[in-house]
Amino acid sequence: MASPGTKGLQRGYIVPIGGSEEKKREPVILEKFVKLCGGSSARLAIIPTASRLKETGQHYIDIFREIGVDDCVCLPIEKRTDSERKDYLHELNKASGIFVTGGNQLRLSTIMGGTSVAQAIRRRNADGVHFAGTSAGAAIIPEHMIAGGKSGPIPREGGVTFAPGLGLTNKIVVDQHFRQRDRLGRLLSAVAYNPFATGIGIDENTAAFIDPDGLLEVIGTGAITVVDPSELSHSSMGSEKRRTAINLTNIRLHLLTNGAKFDIHSRQVFL
């Protein structure tokens, strides 16, 4: 569950990115995130935990510096004890923006889950610090994180696996590299388990900028597939045999591109 935050402070944006965002030629997504965080005055904390590549953190520091942010720090959290380091917590408390890189989202949940760093991220976002995550960093944003599942267009019993996420919101469940990796079936499966949350499938080089009031704006060259289960009348998820296709009736689907908006509370689309 999202942190309640400090009374009188506005929540920060949450920005799930579908992965493979443009970093050099026209880094529109990263530039917009930097602008939110204060532009050249931004203080960014980069968490490369999901990646096993040692150079990932420095790579993003270089990218953000090219955009115009001098104050960037990498927090190379590689084991659970790192998630309790006071110097890392100090950096999070100074940051105006937190960025989590791609890789394997289970590294994020197993290394950071339930730690002081995870608690600090929730608290800081609730108090106005903006959070962006790409690929695995996007998947871990909600309370329920998609940890895996098979590709394909058809929802199936057992078609998706979950793990606890950061819990910055409980209103959505996020999948990434969406059309590039043919993940409609597993997002539909995720929503079918419990039609409380809206499914958000984000293409590569595309992001959902979700403001403090829950209004999502699509930014990027791809699309966001929104699976809205608010009028779902039937799901056979609870009665099907293992890995068989399931029935879903009266489910709504939107395909939204750059500039389109979606209210995650009212579930209205604005074009």
* Annotated catalytic residue 135: yes
The C-alpha atoms of residue 247 and residue 240 are separated, in whole angstroms, by: 9
Question: Residue 138 phi/psi, 5° resolution?
Answer: -80, -40
Q: Which is the catalytic residue, given 135, 144, 189, 235?
A: 135
Q: Which is the catalytic residue, given 21, 204, 217, 235?
A: 204
SS3 of the chain: CCCCCCCCCCCCCEEEECCCCCCCCCCHHHHHHHHHCCHHHCEEEEECCCCCCCCHHHHHHHHHHHHCCCEEEECCCCCHHHHHCHHHHHHHHHCCEEEECCCCHHHHHHHHCCCHHHHHHHHHHHCCCEEEEECHHHHCCECEEEEECCCCCCCECCCCEEEECCCCECCEEEECCCCCCCCHHHHHHHHHHCCCCEEEEECCCEEEEECCCCEEEEEECCEEEEEECCCCCEECCCCCCCCCECCEECCEEEEEECCCEEECCCCCEEC
* Annotated catalytic residue 265: no
Q: What angle do CA 113, 116, 121 make, to 5 degrees?
A: 80
* Annotated catalytic residue 157: no
Q: Which is the catalytic residue, given 177, 189, 217, 235?
A: 177
CB 265 within 8 A of CB 210: no
Residues taking part in catalysis: 135, 177, 204
